[in-house]
């Protein structure tokens, strides 16, 4: 089911279960404590009355109304004087009437009040209160008098004074009764209805359930709110991610809780999104630039051929058209080769040779290659090369050197010079190509190695695709090297290539 | 009709100029921004074909400066086809633009349109007496019969028609019918006027002695 897969609902369910267990534990404990307290209270009352009855039973019957003033000290209720068994002092009574003074302990008119029953040693009943519930009598006789007076007596006398008599506590339906055997052998049963207490306990239980339920509801609501709050950043993150996957890369996650764990996650995601956006924008720009570069040669071919086909021409005119088309095609070929080279270098697919070779030899070959162009422009090339062996792809690095030299000649002043220097420095092979040309404007310097960068934003020659330095940079970096440029306008431009030695 | 083409790619410039000349336009060329602006400011062209990417001043810059002094209709050639580039071009004062790579036919049609608009004409069909001219098809009818005109003769008729009701001076005609490579010292203009009168009736072009020519 979907609902159980949702973190929010799973958290909510676990939270609810734990809350229910805790509340139930508390509720049951509270109920038990209350119940024990109630019964203890009842038992105390019952014990007290057993004591009262015991005392009354062995008191000589009053002869005068002032007989209440006993010559001897009465023990506190529930206790017997321990100056020997009472039967040594008194004849066992055969009939018992509750004395006036103790009548308030047993209110006969109250059906739920305390009642008593006394059975003599010989098993004859010697007294009972009138309010003893009739239904209980048989029951009491059956189960209550398992403590047969004789047995009880024997038992008690067999271990006189040693083991304290344990009064029996019995529950019948809604009644609670205590049975005790006096040392003189009489069985005393004192009971009362516990209906009010049971009612009160039920009431307490209902209260506990109600309060527990209320707490559970409040807890669930609060928990739900907390969970929703904690989960909220996640839904915000996923909503943003959905928009981004739909193509809107400018979306960012709202970082209102930057300090929390989710806030940190969101920050990491945001920086990833930003990098993605930049990469996509660059890629888009690159594709658009590449398409743009292809538009001009295609325009040439289209206008040339359309003009040529407009009417009959002589052979020389057709030749001109074909030559122009060829130039355009060459330019496109060169552009496409550059684009492919860059794409391969970008993707790391370009397999570079890793062979040791003398870099100075490569450079002097390149100088030789560009010498005709330099002569044509009246530019002097000054080489200062120390033999240095490096490992790499000689052909690719020659491409870098030729490109730098071509630029240095092309953007030089007539009668200018190009200085080429190769030296070892801090464990690196350092190639410096410096020209005395027009220089590069400071604001353009950071973009020099960018794709389709041209100093004057126009085609200064069909051979200049604006990708040369970008390719140089890609090749040098594929060799683990660096390339830098510095320039002073109308004074000089210096390119420095650093490659690892060895 | 005299047109200036500013384009730095030599092969493109050459073929554009040739094609336009073959369409009967007088064509001047410039292969960089500075020369382009100099020509555009110095001569009353009927239209300018202007590339955006140029060495020296670029197309936007030329357009901005030119608009301070002249209303010459300008057709921009651009390799950028994004909306913001087009909006920029039109906002800077270009009359139309063509995205590279283009078809020559489209360039011709757009040129005709911007020239017509600049002369406040909205249709391609003009009727003057018994002469009917379709400037889109470059056809001229006289008494409902199609008349063969040379490119230069047609250009003369079209220019006069666009300036109908005005007196057109000989200097104006020289400026608009001949480019910088033609010799303006010849009496070529008189020959063309005379030929047109032979083909379309003597009263089609009236001579205002001491002023120039006029189509009523």
Residue A460 included in any domain: yes
Of B8, B77, B104, the CB nearest to A458: B8
Q: What angle do CA A25, A28, A33 make, to 5 degrees?
A: 120
- How many alpha carbons fall within 13 Å on the CB side of residue A431? 29
Residue A251 included in any domain: no
Cis peptide bond prior to B101, omega within 30° of 0: yes
Q: Are residues A362 and A334 in the same domain?
A: no
Task: Give the count of domains, chain A.
Answer: 3
Q: Are B125 and B140 in contact (CB under 8 A)?
A: no
| Integer Cα distance of A353 and A391 in angstroms | 9
- Supply the pLDDT for residue A164: 53
Provide block-wise average pLDDT over 10 residues at a time, chain A (502 residues). Answer: 74 90 94 92 88 79 50 49 48 71 76 80 77 58 43 38 63 81 81 86 92 92 86 81 84 73 83 86 81 86 91 90 92 87 78 85 92 90 90 90 90 88 90 88 82 61 70 88 88 90 78
Q: Are residues A43 and A178 in the same domain?
A: yes
CATH number assigned to the domain comprising residue A423: 3.30.565.10
What are the residues of chain A with a beta carbon less than 8 Å away from any beta carbon of chain B?
Answer: 288, 292, 295-296, 298-304, 306-308, 310-311, 321, 324, 327-328, 456-460, 462
Task: For domain B125-214, give the CATH number.
Answer: 1.10.10.10
Residue contact A300–B11, C-beta within 8 A: yes
Of A295, A298, A303, the CB nearest to B15: A303
- Domain of residue A169: give its range: 2-60+73-199
Residue A241 included in any domain: no
Q: Which residue of A has its CA nearest to B57?
A: A456
Last residue of a domain, one of A347, A373, A406: A347
Q: Are residues A360 and A343 in the same domain?
A: no
CB distance from B119 to chain A under 8 Å?
A: no
A199, A267, B1, B194 from B212: Cα distances, Å = 128, 78, 17, 14
* Per-residue tens of pLDDT for chain B, all 216 residues: 889 999 988 889 999 999 998 888 889 999 888 999 999 998 889 999 998 888 878 888 899 999 999 889 999 988 777 777 778 778 888 899 888 889 999 999 999 889 888 877 777 788 888 888 888 788 888 888 888 888 888 888 888 888 888 888 888 888 888 877 776 566 788 888 888 888 888 888 888 888 888 887
SS3 track for A129-190: CCCCCHHHHHHHHHHHCCCCHHHHHHHHHHCCCCCCCCCEEEEECCEEEEEEECCCCCEEEE
Torsion of CA B7, B8, B12, B14, to 10 degrees: 80
Q: Are residues A407 and A330 in the same domain?
A: no
Residue A188 included in any domain: yes
Residue contact B11–A292, C-beta within 8 A: no
Q: Are residues A44 and A104 in the same domain?
A: yes
Residue written as token pair 């006289």: B142
CB distance from B103 to chain A under 8 Å?
A: yes
What is the location of CATH 1.10.10.10 in chain B? 125-214
CATH number assigned to the domain comprising residue A279: 1.10.287.130
Last residue of a domain, one of A317, A347, A377: A347
In chain B, what residues touch A307 (CB-CB under 8 Å)? 15-16, 18-19, 22, 104
Residue A304 included in any domain: yes
CB distance from B98 to chain A under 8 Å?
A: no
Alpha carbon of A462: minimum distance to chain B alpha carbons (Å): 8
In chain B, what residues touch A306 (CB-CB under 8 Å)? 15, 19, 103-105
- Supply the pLDDT for residue A149: 40
Inter-chain Cβ pairs, chain A and chain B, closer than 8 A: 75
> At the topology level of CATH, where does B2-118 sit?
Rossmann fold (3.40.50)
Q: Which residue of A has its CA nearest to B79?
A: A292
Q: Are B100 and B77 in contact (CB under 8 A)?
A: yes
Residue contact B9–A300, C-beta within 8 A: yes
Q: Are residues A415 and A484 in the same domain?
A: yes
What is the location of CATH 3.40.50.2300 in chain B? 2-118
Q: Is B55 exposed, middle or buried (0-12, 13-18, 19+ CB in 10 A)?
A: middle
Q: Are residues A449 and A334 in the same domain?
A: no
CB distance from B14 to chain A under 8 Å?
A: yes
B14, containing H or E segment: helix B10-22
CB distance from B54 to chain A under 8 Å?
A: yes
- Supply the pLDDT for residue A228: 84
- Supply the pLDDT for residue B150: 87
> Which residues, including other chains, have CB under 8 Å from residue B175's CB and lie 6 or more apart?
B2, B43, B44
Last residue of a domain, one of A347, A374, A409: A347
CB distance from B21 to chain A under 8 Å?
A: no
- Which of B6, B8, B9, B80 to probe by mutation at the A interface, max A CB count within 10 Å? B9
Q: Are A341 and A350 in contact (CB under 8 A)?
A: yes
Residue contact B15–A458, C-beta within 8 A: no
In chain B, what residues touch A301 (CB-CB under 8 Å)? 101
Residue contact B58–A457, C-beta within 8 A: yes
| Integer Cα distance of A235 and A237 in angstroms | 5
Residue A321 included in any domain: yes
| Buried residues in A305-329 as b, exposed as e (16+ CB within 10 A) | bbbbeeeeeeeeeeebbeebbebbe
- Can you tell me whether residue B125 is helix, strand or coil? strand
**Pairing relation of β-strands B125-128 and B131-134?**
antiparallel
Residue A426 included in any domain: yes
Q: Which residue of B has its CA nearest to A310?
A: B19
Q: Are residues A381 and A398 in the same domain?
A: yes
Q: Are residues A328 and A362 in the same domain?
A: no
Of B53, B80, B99, the CB nearest to A459: B53
Residue contact B101–A299, C-beta within 8 A: yes
Q: Are residues A118 and A146 in the same domain?
A: yes
- Supply the pLDDT for residue A156: 35
| In A307-425, beta strands by DSSP E | 355-358, 380-385, 389-392, 417-425
**Which tokens belong to B170?**
């000989």
Q: Are residues A176 and A275 in the same domain?
A: no
- Which of A303, A308, A326, A327 to probe by mutation at the B interface, max B CB count within 10 Å? A303
A31, A33, A36, A263, A496 from A203: Cα distances, Å = 10, 14, 15, 50, 93
| Integer Cα distance of A318 and A328 in angstroms | 15
Q: Are residues A9 and A77 in the same domain?
A: yes
Residue A257 included in any domain: no
- Supply the pLDDT for residue A497: 93
- Supply the pLDDT for residue A492: 86
In chain A, what residues touch B22 (CB-CB under 8 Å)? 307, 310-311
Residue contact A303–B12, C-beta within 8 A: yes
């Amino acid at each position: 089911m979907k609902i159980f897969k949702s973190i929010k609902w799973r958290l909510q369910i676990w939270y609810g279960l734990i809350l229910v267990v805790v509340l139930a534990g508390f509720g049951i404990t509270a109920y038990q404590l209350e119940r024990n307290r109630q019964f203890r209270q009842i038992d105390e009352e019952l014990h007290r009355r057993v004591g009262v009855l015991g005392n009354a039973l062995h008191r000589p019957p009053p002869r005068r109304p002032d007989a209440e003033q006993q010559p001897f000290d009465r023990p506190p209720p529930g206790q017997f004087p321990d100056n020997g068994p009472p039967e040594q002092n008194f004849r066992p009574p055969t009939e018992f009437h509750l004395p006036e003074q103790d009548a308030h302990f047993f209110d006969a008119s109250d059906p739920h009040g305390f009642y008593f029953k006394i059975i003599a040693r010989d098993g004859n009943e010697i007294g009972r209160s009138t309010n003893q519930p009739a239904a209980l009598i048989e029951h009491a006789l059956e189960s209550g008098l398992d403590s047969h007076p004789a047995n009880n007596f024997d038992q008690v006398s067999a271990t006189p004074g040693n083991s304290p008599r344990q009064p029996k506590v019995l529950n019948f339906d809604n009644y609670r009764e205590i049975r005790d055997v006096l040392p003189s052998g009489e069985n005393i049963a004192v009971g009362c209805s516990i209906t009010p207490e049971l009612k009160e306990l039920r009431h307490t239980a209902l209260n506990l359930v109600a309060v527990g339920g209320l707490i559970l509801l409040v807890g669930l609501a609060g928990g739900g709110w907390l969970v929703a709050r904690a989960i909220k950043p996640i839904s915000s993150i996923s909503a943003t991610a959905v928009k981004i996957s739909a193509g809107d890369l400018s979306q960012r996650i709202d970082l209102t809780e930057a300090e929390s764990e989710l806030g940190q996650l969101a920050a990491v995601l945001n920086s990833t999104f930003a990098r993605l956006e930049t990469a996509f924008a660059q890629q888009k720009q690159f594709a658009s630039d590449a398409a743009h570069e292809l538009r001009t040669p295609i325009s040439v071919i289209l206008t040339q051929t359309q003009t040529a086909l407009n009417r009959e021409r002589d052979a020389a005119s057709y030749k001109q058209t074909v030559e122009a088309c060829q130039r355009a095609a060459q330019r496109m070929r060169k552009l496409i080769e550059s684009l492919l080279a860059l794409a391969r270098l970008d993707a790391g697919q370009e397999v570079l040779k890793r062979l040791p070779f003398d870099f100075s030899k490569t450079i002097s070959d390149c100088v030789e290659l560009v010498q005709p162009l330099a002569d044509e422009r009246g530019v002097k090339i000054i080489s200062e090369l120390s033999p240095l062996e490096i490992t790499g792809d000689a052909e690719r690095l020659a491409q870098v050197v030729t490109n730098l030299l071509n630029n240095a000649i092309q953007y030089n002043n007539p009668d200018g010079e190009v200085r080429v220097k190769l030296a070892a420095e801090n464990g690196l092979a350092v190639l410096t190509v410096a020209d005395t040309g027009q220089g590069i404007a400071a604001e353009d310097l950071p973009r020099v190695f960018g794709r389709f960068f041209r100093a004057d934003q126009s085609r200064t020659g069909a051979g200049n695709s604006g990708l040369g330095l970008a390719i140089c940079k890609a090749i040098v970096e594929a060799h683990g090297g660096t390339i830098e440029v510095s320039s002073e306008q109308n004074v000089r431009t210096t390119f420095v290539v650093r490659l690892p030695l060895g | 009709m005299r047109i200036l083409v500013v384009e730095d790619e030599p092969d493109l410039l050459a073929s554009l100029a040739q094609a336009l000349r073959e369409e009967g336009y007088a064509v001047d060329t410039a292969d960089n921004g500075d020369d382009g602006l100099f020509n555009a400011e110095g001569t009353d062209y009927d239209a300018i074909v202007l590339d955006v990417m140029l060495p020296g001043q670029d197309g936007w810059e030329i357009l901005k400066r030119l608009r301070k002094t002249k209303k010459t209709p300008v057709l921009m050639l651009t390799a950028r086809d994004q909306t913001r580039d087009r909006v920029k071009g039109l906002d800077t004062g270009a009359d139309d633009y063509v995205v590279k790579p283009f078809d020559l036919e489209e360039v011709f049609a757009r040129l005709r349109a911007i020239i017509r608009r600049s002369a406040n004409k909205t249709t391609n069909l003009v009727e003057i007496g018994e002469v009917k001219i379709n400037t889109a098809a470059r056809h001229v009818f006289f008494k409902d019969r199609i008349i063969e005109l040379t490119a230069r003769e047609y250009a003369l008729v079209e220019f006069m028609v666009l300036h109908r009701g005005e007196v057109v001076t000989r200097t104006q005609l020289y400026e608009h019918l001949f480019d910088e490579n033609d010799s303006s010292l010849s009496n070529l203009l008189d020959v063309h006027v005379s030929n047109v009168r032979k083909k379309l009736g003597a009263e089609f072009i009236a001579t205002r002695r001491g002023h120039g020519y006029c189509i009523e």
